[in-house]
A and B are shown apart, each in its own frame.
Chain A
Amino acid sequence: MSGTTTTPEKVPMVEVEIDGRKVEVPEGTTLLAAARKADVRIPTLCSHPAVEPYGACRVCITEIEVRGRKRLVTACNYPVREPLRAFPESDETRRQRRGVLSLMLARWPNVPAVRLLAEKHGARPPSYTHPLRNEAPDACILCGLCVRACSEMVWENVIAFAGRGAGRRVMMPFGKTSERCTGCGTCAAICPTGAIQVHDEQNRPVDPARIRKYGFRLTQEMTLLDDQQCQMRRVGTAHLVEIMDAYDLLPTHNYKFGKHPDTPKIASPVWKSIVRQNVPDGCWAGCQMSCSKAVEGFVPRTGPYQGQKVLVDGPEYETVAGCGSNIGVFDPHDILEINFYCDTYGIDTISFGTATAFAMECFEAGILDPQKTGGLELRFGNGTAALELLHQMSRGEGFGVIVGQGIAEMKRIFAEKFGGDPQFLQDIGMEVKGLEYSEYVCKESLAQQGGYAMALKGPQHDEAWLIFMDMVNKQLPTFEKKAEALHYFPMWRTWFGLMGLCKLPWNDIEPEDNAKYPEPNKVPGHVEGYINFWAGMTGQEVTIDDIIRMSERVYNFQRVFNLRMGKGTREWDRGPYRAMGPVTVEEYESRAERYDKQLRELVGYDPTGKTTREKLAALRKYREEQYERLLDAVYERRGWTRNGIPKIETLRRLGIDYPWVIEVVKPWLEKEGAA
């Protein structure tokens, strides 16, 4: 597969000696960065690790010796290409630095950043009066940090230098307020003098500086780390396609399998080459993650826009997996066309993909045939048939009317009208509570099976995505640990919904120091950011426990709503067996070594000499029992009864034991003898 590599490429190392300290750095490292590595401080006013060096202030001027010859360079933009010695405290360096700072003092005598540096390095104001002398303490010193930040960190170029010589200044185009400016505040956050102020008059936060501090940290992480991490700005969530395939988690052929030899045809390098805009495209103005993507000039081959140039908003990972691998389609054009028409018709790509995958498996299993589908050959891989199904769905015609009702209805119709085996339909129909599954294979993660099937809105992974923690890291070996994860993460992620905040900046970029925390999976540095966002906006200090409690109140309300709608009990928290393990002989035999091993080691069942059907049955019995034990553990942790009903004491603890809430739960509690 064309995987993401975790091993950095080797670059030649160069030895440098800075102020007597030797250090090795990769060729091309700036002298300033090398000095930081050697723990030697070189002063600067216009440098920041998140933007390209510019050499504007000249304060970092340093004497160096290369091959026996001495000269002066600006450390921030001098690349180390061969062994050298640097003398940041030599007489010549200090003399030059004082001169630079003296010139700055002449022009901006009251800017604290300039004054502090000048005092520290012994620079005095010159005897002459600078013709452009600016007495303001927050004067712009033309360091260019804001200009570079807007361009390189935010990818906007809203501000730039204008004018020359004495007239040089920072401004928006033509001196007017640009509509492109989102007010993200990055320029203000990076400005060393306070020359730029951003006022949020719409939201009126209590402490804007506190919010800006954490907002800037995220912007900086996106700038410095995203290219080596998830590449959210470059390709968005589609970066996951080949990763999920590598871990056997990419749904193919209605979740039968987790990988496919054709995955490279729909992997992230393909999307990177097709996504043409390659500019920040956030769901809302000012988002620094900007993971939305679009394909311009796309020409559909079917439907009402056939032959016309259109813009496709996407594709997201879920769309690639749902409308691609899960229906056996590995043609990027067809995936984009389904993406486009789903958006145009107002149809969810996940539900369309999962429902179509179910219909395709039913077709291949003989439950459906061309007579029943109106001539559609709904075989895996038939993108043309999938597109026609989509058009029929939008027009309310043909077989599209049946598929458009979703899997829960299809199961009933296929059993009643087409003679399908209800048990088989139940086993392979990937829905719970009437909603189709999103696009991850969860057979090997018991915790994720719960994360999906117990989700209150139906099997959407935005309550909990625990596959790596459970299946790969093996961090959740006991039911108690799984239950704790199925308490913390759904509550934490529910909070994003309560706040109207996106969760992607929480975990799709990792802080550089994340490894230092005992529970890096919770990304504590970013949790701290959200806590500060809340406090900065409202003035109310909170802890993570307060946040979890906010969510718990709403989550339990939602459970009561589910109950009122007839779907809030244990039977509605069980998924189809396809989500838990192999349904068919074909599935079992495709990973026979894995399943045989589990039978031996976990179930205590010797698979030797047994038929695949016997082994399937033994494995199923074990996995279904495990799932029931998981339900018990999670309900216990959440303060619910064995039937999944919030206990009175839980409602009381959360302060939501209102009479109309009690009225809903009481009959259910009485049935269990728990009232």
Chain B
Amino acid sequence: MSPSITVNGDPHPWREGLTVADVLRERNFVFPLLVVSVDGVHVPRDGYAATLVPPGSVVVVTHLVSGG
């Protein structure tokens, strides 16, 4: 079975070199007000591109409240 991660509870395929920015792009999470954590550790916005997501990680992408 190929390794995976979970993103907001849903399985998501993992690959070597997968970053937080990749996960956001692949999930089409384009909303600008996000709070991201990987295995419980907060990832700041300027760290998305450089933060690697290890296999088996629990990624939580909290979208803040929107709507006019």
Contacts and interface: CB of A to CB of B under 8 A. Distances in A.
Interface of A: 3-8, 10, 228-230, 237, 240, 242-243, 246-247, 316-318, 440, 461-462, 465-469, 472-475, 489, 504, 507-508, 510, 514-516, 520-521, 523
Contact of B64 (A317, A462, A489, A507): A507
Contact of B8 (A318, A440, A474, A520): A474
B1 interface: no
B68 A468 contact: no
Interface string B24-68: 110011111111000000101110110000000000111111111
Nearest to B8: A474
A468 B66 contact: yes
A510 B8 CA distance: 21
Main SS class of interface, A:
loop
A3 B32 CA distance: 10
Given A10-B49, A472-B8, A246 B28 contact: yes
Main SS class of interface, B:
loop
A474 B9 contact: yes
B65 A6 contact: no
Given A472-B63, A473-B8, A474-B8, A230 B33 contact: yes
B61 to A, nearest CB: 7
B32 A228 contact: yes
A7 B49 contact: yes
Contacts of A523: 64-65
B21 interface: yes
B68 A7 contact: no
Contacts of B65: 465-466, 468-469, 489, 507, 521, 523
A461 B68 contact: yes
B35 A515 contact: yes
A6 B44 contact: no
Nearest to A26: B46
A8 B66 contact: no
A6 B34 contact: yes
A461 B32 contact: no
A7 B62 contact: no
A520 B35 contact: yes
Nearest to A514: B35
Q: Which interface residue of B25, B42, B67 has the most chain A CB atoms within 10 A? A: B67
A473 B63 contact: yes
B21 to A, nearest CB: 4
Nearest to B9: A474
Contacts of A8: 45-46, 48-49
B14 to A, nearest CB: 19
Nearest to A507: B65
A243 B32 CA distance: 9
B24 to A, nearest CB: 5
Nearest to A226: B32
Contacts of B63: 468-469, 472-473
Contact of B30 (A5, A468, A504, A521): A5
Interface residues of B, number: 29
Nearest to B47: A8
B48 A475 contact: no
Nearest to B44: A515
A6 B62 contact: no
Given A520-B35, A521-B62, A246 B68 contact: no
Nearest to A477: B9
A7 B34 CA distance: 12
Given A246-B31, A507-B66, 5 more contacts: A237-B68, A462-B67, A473-B61, A489-B65, A515-B42
Contact of A465 (B33, B62, B67): B67
A651 to B, nearest CB: 29
Contact of B45 (A6, A316, A317, A521): A6
A320 B42 CA distance: 35
27 contacts: A3-B28, A4-B32, A5-B30, A6-B24, A6-B31, A6-B32, A7-B21, A7-B49, A8-B45, A8-B48, A8-B49, A229-B33, A230-B33, A240-B67, A246-B28, A318-B68, A440-B67, A462-B68, A467-B66, A468-B66, A469-B63, A472-B63, A474-B8, A474-B9, A504-B68, A507-B66, A515-B42
Contacts of B30: 3-6, 242-243, 246
Nearest to B30: A3
B42 A243 contact: no
Q: Which interface residue of A3, A7, A467 has the most chain B CB atoms within 10 A? A: A7
A234 to B, nearest CB: 12
B37 to A, nearest CB: 8
A385 B48 CA distance: 47
List the 3 shortest-distance A-B pairs measured between CB atoms, nearest first.
Answer: A465-B67, A468-B63, A3-B30
Given A6-B45, A510-B33, A316 B66 contact: no
A6 B64 contact: no
A228 B32 CA distance: 7
Contacts of B28: 3, 246-247
A369 B43 CA distance: 56
A674 to B, nearest CB: 34
Q: Which interface residue of B24, B32, B46, B48 has the most chain A CB atoms within 10 A? A: B32
Contact of A7 (B8, B24, B60): B24
A461 to B, nearest CB: 5
A662 to B, nearest CB: 36
A72 to B, nearest CB: 31
Nearest to A229: B32
A462 B23 CA distance: 31
A8 B19 CA distance: 13
B35 to A, nearest CB: 5
Contacts of B48: 6-8
A126 B44 CA distance: 48
B29 A6 contact: yes
A514 B35 CA distance: 8
A440 B21 CA distance: 27
A468 B31 contact: yes
A243 B67 CA distance: 11
Nearest to B63: A468
A10 B50 CA distance: 11
Contacts of A469: 63, 65
Contacts of A516: 42
A247 B61 contact: no
A242 B28 CA distance: 11
B23 to A, nearest CB: 10
Given A6-B30, A237-B68, A465-B67, A475 B62 contact: yes
B8 A468 contact: no
